[in-house]
Amino acid sequence: MPEKLVIIGSGPAGLTAAIYAARAALNPLMFEGFAAGGLIPGGQLMFTTEVENYPGFPEGIQGPEMMRAFRQQAERFGTRFHTEDVVRVDFRKRPFVVASEEHEVEAHAVIIATGARANWLGLENEQRLAKSGGGVSACAVCDGALPPFRNQELVVVGGGDSAIEEGSYLTKFARKVHLVHRRAELRASKAMQSRFFKLVDEGKMAPVWDSLVVDVIGKERVEAVRLKNVKTGKESDLSCRGLFLAIGHTPNTETFKGQIEVDEKGYIKLPGPNTVTSVEGVFAAGDVADHVYRQAVTAAGTGCMAALDAERWLAAQGIAD
């Protein structure tokens, strides 16, 4: 028997969709992922520390703790889980096919909530030292507290909210955090900019404007980054023991390539004010279809919308009963 609803992804969007769908007796099956896109079940919040802006938690909550609670709530209403990455889908067939290495299932409706992953600069030495644990990371909150980074000079690349958030997190352990940005103006929100300039005043962070990291120096561990000033073309080395990238994200849509419409950056297109994708019966929620808001609360909101959209669509097909 085909599944009524399969949900792919287990961040706030997927798990909220699961809570709503399970309560609506759709008996959802979730592929919660294993390691796709460098993420783990629970998604990006599993790599976050304190979440201060999710309503209902006046004292804040740790990201992993919040995701455990989301999952328990989805499970309580009967969501079933495969802790596996989806490697193949067929949206041309009905029912649809969704497959991991271990399971192949048929589904009348699918909600895609696979999120997005961190971007890298794409430098050879960056990749080498990231893979060897040599001091390059795209997640300060995952790695920043590790002993090799403590009391050291560190570099964060980027000028958005993530760069400031990760940089300010690193100041708890580092001697100093240099923020390397390719322009002289931050993209980050006003509140984050204030946080940054306060840390600069306190001597904990320092900006390096109009600069790109063009190489990472160091055999076993990061010893310096080579910077290039984009205005003068001049190159210089900045000594540091860690390099943290905070240069945006890429949506996890590779598995759906050619089967569903995506925009030029790979985010799933939602033509209407709902979660309906270009394939009838396939819905999308969370960061995989959102490069604007990208908040836990907006992901959860669209997860709820996707479950309601799926429920109505299944009912219209006579499948929900």
Residues that bind ligand NAP (CB under 6 A): 121, 157-163, 165, 182-183, 187, 189, 212, 246-249, 294
DSSP of 94-137 = SSEEEE-SS-EEEEEEEEE---EEE-----HHHHHHHHTTSSEE
CA atoms within 13 A on the CB side of 47: 20
* Strand, coil or helix: 199: helix
Q: How far is the CB of 92 from ligand NAP (least distance, A)?
A: 33
Q: Catalytic: which of 90, 142, 210, 215?
A: 142
Which of 24/216 has CB closer to ligand NAP?
216
Q: Which residues pair with 7 in a beta bridge?
A: 30, 111
Rounded CA separation 53/74 (Å): 22
304 included as an active-site residue: no
Is 142 among the catalytic positions?
yes
Dump the DSSP string for 63-93: HHHHHHHHHHHHHHTT-EEE-S---EEESSS
Distances (CA, A) of 312 to 93, 98, 275: 21, 21, 12
- In the DSSP assignment, the letter for residue 53 is S
Q: Which is nearer to ligand NAP, 27 or 119 (CB)?
A: 119
Q: Which of 143, 161, 287, 290 is catalytic?
A: 143
Place of tokens 């995989």: 288
- Cβ proximity to ligand NAP, 180 vs 224, nearer residue: 180
Residue nearest to ligand NAP as judged by C-beta position: 160
Q: Using CA atoms, how far apart are residues 11 and 301, in angstroms rounded to an integer? A: 12
Classify each residue of 175-205 as buried b or exposed e, where b means 16 or more C-beta atoms within 10 Å of its C-beta.
ebbbbbbeeeebbbeeebbebbeebeeeebb
Nearer to ligand NAP, 134 or 159 (CB): 159
67 CB-side CA count, 13 A: 22
Active site residue 263: no
Question: What are the catalytic residues?
Answer: 139, 142-143
